[in-house]
Amino acid sequence: MITTDFAPGSPCWLDLGAPDVRAAAAFYTAVLGWDYESMGEGGEMEGGMFRRDGKIVAGLGKLTEEGARPAWMIYFTVTDADATTEAVRSAGGTVRVEPRDLDEWGRMAQYSDPLGGQFAVWQPGTNKGVELVDEPGSLSWIELCTHDVAGAKEFYGGILGWRFSDTELPGGGGTYSLITPEGLPEERMHGGLVELPREALTQADGRPYWHPVFRVEDCDAAVERVRENGGSVQMGPEDAEGVGRLAVCLDPSNADFVVLKPSES
């Protein structure tokens, strides 16, 4: 599960790069019950924060990088963003944004893994990360879709100190690799790696990609809101044994995310 103590290697923040900030804000407020707080209107710095019950759950910004696709960016807590950056380079990754301070809030950097999957890190200052997780309308899981799980394990395990445990997917669907931060019990699993053929990774033109899983109270109702507000559904809703009822969705600009109603424990 994802928590807000943000141990090193755990997801701590996410933000959406969208071509139309106002449209994205309207979509997610309708689908996930979020409130949007603008921190700038117009121009390249347009964006703001999403809140649920007054607590920050995600960020939103204008997509300005030429050729970039609309997508959610996942940030992981690190103790030293500069050291992590050197480790990324040494492991064959690419530094997309060099470490930089965001006032007193913290220090961030953005990367691509050796196969092109994009992710980011956050060295906390006064801001540790999102304020609500694992509740309806908030982040509850993350997932990497890649055509090389073995390579992803080696890269991310070395960079972020993760350990992995494999489980067989129902119906012969292959192996799913669960992620746990180093030194924490298995109850702190926060995500998974799923292997797909390169031709199935259409969201990123064959490159790996991370997507967020948002907990919802009713998966089918959330899917209806996705469709009613201009989004679409790639898969589901369907029941996953021991997990819950889920659907893989696209927002109107084709940024992907998952909605999940967890199984009753």
Write down the pLDDT at residue 43. Answer: 59
Residue 6 gets the label, from left (phi > 0), alpha (psi -120 to 50) or beta, of left
* Interval 39-58 mean pLDDT: 86
Which residue bears the tokens 């690190």?
Answer: 78
Give the CATH number of domain 138-262. 3.10.180.10
How many C-beta atoms lie closer than 10 Å to residue 83's C-beta? 12
Write down the pLDDT at residue 67. Answer: 79
| 171 — pLDDT class (breaks 50, 70, 90) | low
pLDDT at position 59 over 90:
yes
Write down the pLDDT at residue 68. Answer: 84
| 44 — pLDDT class (breaks 50, 70, 90) | low
Answer yes or no: same fold for 11-124 and 138-262. yes
Q: Judge contact between 174 and 195, C-beta under 8 A.
A: yes
**Can you tell me the distance from the alpha carbon of 236 to that of 57, in angstroms, rounded to the nearest whole number?**
24
| 129 — pLDDT class (breaks 50, 70, 90) | very high
Domain extents for the chain? Answer: 11-124, 138-262
pLDDT tens-digit readout, 241-261:
888 999 999 999 999 999 999
pLDDT tens-digit readout, 188-216:
999 999 999 999 998 889 999 999 999 99
| 46 — pLDDT class (breaks 50, 70, 90) | confident
The CATH number corresponding to 11-124 among 3.40.50.620, 3.90.226.10, 3.10.180.10, 1.10.260.40 equals: 3.10.180.10
Q: Judge contact between 81 and 109, C-beta under 8 A.
A: yes
**Can you tell me the distance from the alpha carbon of 138 to that of 131, in angstroms, rounded to the nearest whole number?**
9
Relative to beta strand 232-240, strand 244-250 is antiparallel
Predicted TM-score (pTM) of the model is 0.95
Q: Judge contact between 10 and 4, C-beta under 8 A.
A: no
pLDDT at position 265 over 60:
no
Write down the pLDDT at residue 175. Answer: 87
What type of residue is 172?
G
What type of residue is 147?
H
